[in-house]
Each structure stands twice: as C-alpha cells, then as structure tokens.
C-alpha cells in the first residue's frame, strides 16, 4: 500500500493492534459512551506527533494519553465524585503488559473477519470477497459482475467502512470484562 506514510505504517503496527486496551481504559474512566470519542482523540494526538519514532512504548504512551485526556474531561465535568478523581490522580497506571495481543483478543481473527464479510449486503460481500480473498483486480470484478469500476469502488468502500465499524463494536464487547463506571460518575457534587 504505497499510499501509506511511514507514520501510518508505524501507527498500524504499533498503535492500532491495542485498540481494545485503549477502549477498556477509556471506558473505565469515562463510561462506554464516551470511550470511542476519547480513543479517537488520543489517536489524533499520536498521529499528530512529528517525532513518533522516539516513542519507545507506543501502547503505554497511548494509554497514558487516554488517562490524561480522561482526567482533563473529568475535571471539566461537574458531575464527578471528588474521591473518584482523587484516587484516579494517584493511580499507578504504568502498563508494561508484555502481551498486548492477548488483551486485544478477538481483533483480526480471520474467522471473525470472514463472518463480517459474509454479513455484508450480498453484492457488497461479493465484491469484497473477490477483491480481498480471491485477489481479483477491480477491473476484473467489474467485468465479471457486469458493473462499472466506480460501482466496484463504491461496494468496496461501503464494505470496508462497515467492517471497520463492526470491529470497533466487537472490541467494545471485549470491554464488558471491565464494565464502565458510569453509575459512580453520575453522582453530582454537592
């Protein structure tokens, strides 16, 4: 994929595989509803770092960003229990987990990916299957299905977006191990 910059390759290899851990951490602090937003914001900070090569432990780095962003948000919100905030501030959040793959369990599982493709709308599934599993070039798919190349493109784009979102949802389910703390957060300061 020549259209990827070095930073994108680094991001895909070092940062994205641990998405489930970031979402779990974010959900722990901010609740499930805000978790995705928080993670996206953390991603944006990481991808906006020009000296990304200097980041020795990308996973811990992103987790720390998530933690700091959560703190910022909680400080702005006026519905946070003060003891919760205090305990968060002193938490030791060092994360040297050697096996991030285990925590990101479920992601990129091939069988799951196949199921996701098969669950797409029929024509969309067919095009994704031909392009990504059978390795047919877009022109050959257009020929085989008697549709235009731009329609092939549209199906691929739709399938790709749907699968990317579905994988986020699956990661969110992994977080069920660590239920969100929304209940304690909703108590108003008095």
Partner 1 sequence: MPGNHNISKPDADLTEVAAGWLAALDSGSADMEAFEAWRNSDVRSAVAFAEVASTWRDMDSLRLAQGDMQVETPAVEQPSRRYVIRAAASIAATVIAGSGIAYNAYARDTASTDMGERRTVSVDDGLAVDLNTDSCIHWRTGQPTRLWLERGEVAIRLAAAQKAELRTPGGTFQLMPGIYNARLRDASCELAVVKGSISGAGAVHIGQGEIALATAGRIAPRSREEADIDRVTAWQRDTLVLNGESLDYALAEINRYLPNKIVIGDPALSRIRLGGTFATTNPEEFLDALRTSFGIRATPSNHGGIILTRP
Residue 110 is classified by DSSP as: H
Q: Which of 53, 75, 165, 173: binder of partner 1 (CB under 8 A)?
A: 165
Site for partner 1 in 17-46 (CB under 8 A): 17, 24, 28, 33-34, 36-37, 40, 43-44
Distance CA(8)–CA(96), nearest Å, equals 24
Rounded least distance, CB 5 to partner 1, Å: 8
Residue 104 is classified by DSSP as: T
Site for partner 1 in 45-104 (CB under 8 A): 47-48, 91-93, 95-99, 101-104
Rounded least distance, CB 79 to partner 1, Å: 14
- H-type helices in the chain, by residue range? 6-10, 19-30, 32-47, 58-76, 82-89, 100-103, 110-118, 122-128, 138-145, 149-174, 182-185
Q: For residues 162 and 120, is the Cβ–Cβ distance under 8 A?
A: yes
Q: Site map for partner 1, 119-158, x if CB under 8 A? A: ---x--xx-xxxxxxxxx-xxxx-xxxx--xx-xxx-xxx
Of 54 and 135, which CB lies nearer to partner 1 in the complex structure?
A: 135
Rounded least distance, CB 72 to partner 1, Å: 16
């Amino acid at each position: 994929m020549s259209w990827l910059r070095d930073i994108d390759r680094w991001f895909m290899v070092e940062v994205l595989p641990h998405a489930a851990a970031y979402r779990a951490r974010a959900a722990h602090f901010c609740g499930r509803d805000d978790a995705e937003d928080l993670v996206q914001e953390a991603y944006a900070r990481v991808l906006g770092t020009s000296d990304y090569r200097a980041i020795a432990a990308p996973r811990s780095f992103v987790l720390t960003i998530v933690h700091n962003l959560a703190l910022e948000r909680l400080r702005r919100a006026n519905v946070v229990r003060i003891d919760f905030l205090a305990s968060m501030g002193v938490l030791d959040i060092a994360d040297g987990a050697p096996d991030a793959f285990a925590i990101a369990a479920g992601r990129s599982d091939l069988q799951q990916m196949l199921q996701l493709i098969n669950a797409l709308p029929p024509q969309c599934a067919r095009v994704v299957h031909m392009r990504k599993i059978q390795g047919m070039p877009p022109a050959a798919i257009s020929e085989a299905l008697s549709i235009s190349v731009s329609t092939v493109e549209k199906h691929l784009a739709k399938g790709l977006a749907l699968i990317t979102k579905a994988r986020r949802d699956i990661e969110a389910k992994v977080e069920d191990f660590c239920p969100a703390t929304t209940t304690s957060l909703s108590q108003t300061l008095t």
